[in-house]
Amino acid sequence: MTNDPVEHVRADPVQEVTAWLQEHWDPDLTVGEWWERLGKAGWSAPTLPTEWYGRGLSTADSARVHRAIRDFGALGPPGGLGLLLAAPTIVAHGTDEQKRRYIEDIVCGREGWCQLFSEPAAGSDLAGLQTRAVRDGAEWVINGQKVWTSNAQIADRGMLLARTNPDVPKHRGLTYFLLDMHQPGVDVRPLRELTGRSLFNEVFLTDVRVRDDDILGGLDAGWAVANTTLAFERTGTGAGADGTANSSAAPGTIAGHLTQRAGDFVRGRQERMSLTVRPELYIEAARRHAKVDDPLTRQHLVALYIENEVGRYLTLRLRALRASGSDIPGAPNIAKLRMSELFRLGREVGLGILGARGMLHDYRGHDRSNVNPDRAVLEIALWSPAPSIYGGSDQIQRNILAERVLGLPREPGDERSTPFRDLRKNV
């Protein structure tokens, strides 16, 4: 304990990271070398505690740090679900041994992660999932099928939710495993989307093995752990989120980016950031297509601006409240609903501006910027159904708000008391 007041004044993290970047950013490093520096210095995931490669910053300050890295012109932290979901979930529920085993590899981008939750008959009803885990000595044997698994094709590890006990009600017999994707029996099959890309996959698991000490948060206690992951997902992808997961370089051993030059990904990152519904994007398109004088287009542009600002203010308010130890019940759910609305509005406004040109799309490459200057507007229109589905659909967000925030009665049924094996199944 000291009486020196200076010790209690925390340096501004933006100034700190900028000074650090001046000393350490080098575009000629490989992506892997750069992420080692960034991760070990605590700038990849600044919200993590200092003892686990973070800086203990608030989400507001972390977003400012990530913006500062981008504005500096350096490559941002590893994108993807490792940093967004796995690391904070492991910090919240993991043993020290698990934190030692996984966190450093995530913040340094050495391993990519995917989220093996949804199944063909268990999306909204996630607790109804049927992938089975059966104990075999010090290991578990997993059999089942997952679907919509984003980036599974480049994942080294998976956050896997599986049923360990079918004799208790469905929420109480689930366990959260940390799965090694590099093993026989893990069959990843990409699915082609409306956008022309294959972001997500089907994943078939046949006699796949997980060690007992790769259970996160305890046997049959997976539902609480999964809810932690889902809360980080809603906060990280709702309106006003800072888009950390949008880095153009992908982490892990499979994507092949770690050995490439870091500076080559900086421009690419800005390209990917255009998948946010920014009003300027639509104003530029309206000018390009001589629609800025059109009264309807002008109304739509203002509506888009307002929706964007409301989402941004909600997030800023939530961050400020959380920094002072308070909260807004249901705020992540509301933020996610606003994001769905923003994307729908972006689609309507964008396609209204483009008119018949909105039907022209080039599906060949990843970077379509030279093919069609309206690329970003089209991408958002084609991507617009996704935010209202992933991380829990709009209807499920409203159910959560109704039941957990407003205290309205739960949906009828005896699912909470009936053993899973006696419930009627979707398939």
Ligand X SMILES: Cc1cc2nc3c(=O)[nH]c(=O)nc-3n(C[C@H](O)[C@H](O)[C@H](O)COP(=O)(O)OP(=O)(O)OC[C@H]3O[C@@H](n4cnc5c(N)ncnc54)[C@H](O)[C@@H]3O)c2cc1C
Residues that bind ligand X (CB under 6 A): 114-115, 117-118, 123-124, 148-150, 200, 386, 389-390, 392-393, 395-396, 399
CB of 193 vs ligand X, minimal distance in Å? 8
Distance CA 128, CA 415 (A): 10
| 127 vs 396, beta carbon nearer ligand X | 396
Residue 217 CB partners (closer than 8 Å, separation 6+): 93, 94, 176, 224, 225
86 or 349: CB nearest ligand X: 86
Strands 174-180 and 186-190: unpaired
Tell me how far apart the alpha carbons of residues 195 and 366 are, in angstroms, rounded to a whole number.
10
**Long-range contacts formed by 49-55: CB under 8 A, 24+ apart:** 49/91, 52/87, 52/91, 52/99, 52/103, 53/103, 53/104, 53/107, 54/107, 55/13
Closest contact distance (angstroms) between CB of 366 and ligand X is: 17
As measured in angstroms, the least distance from the Cβ of 373 to ligand X is 25
Q: How far is the CB of 92 from ligand X (least distance, A)?
A: 19
Catalytic residue among 111, 233, 341, 379: 233
Pairing of strands 157-163, 113-116: parallel
Active-site residue, 16 included:
no
**80 within 8 A of 251, measured Cβ to Cβ:** yes
Distance CA 210, CA 178 (A): 8
Nearest to 82 by CA among 175, 148, 14, 181: 181
Type and span of the H or E element at 114: strand 113-116
Question: Nearest-CB residue to ligand X?
Answer: 123
Which residue's CB is nearer to ligand X, number 13 or number 251? 251
Minimal distance in Å, beta carbon 409 to ligand X? Answer: 13
Counting Cα atoms < 13 Å in the Cβ hemisphere of 102 gives: 30
Which residue(s) pair with 174 in the sheet? 163
Q: CA-to-CA distance for 257 and 342, rounded, in angstroms?
A: 32
For the CB of residue 291, give the shortest distance to ligand X in the complex, in Å. 30
Identity of the amino acid at 374: D
* Residues noted as catalytic: 233
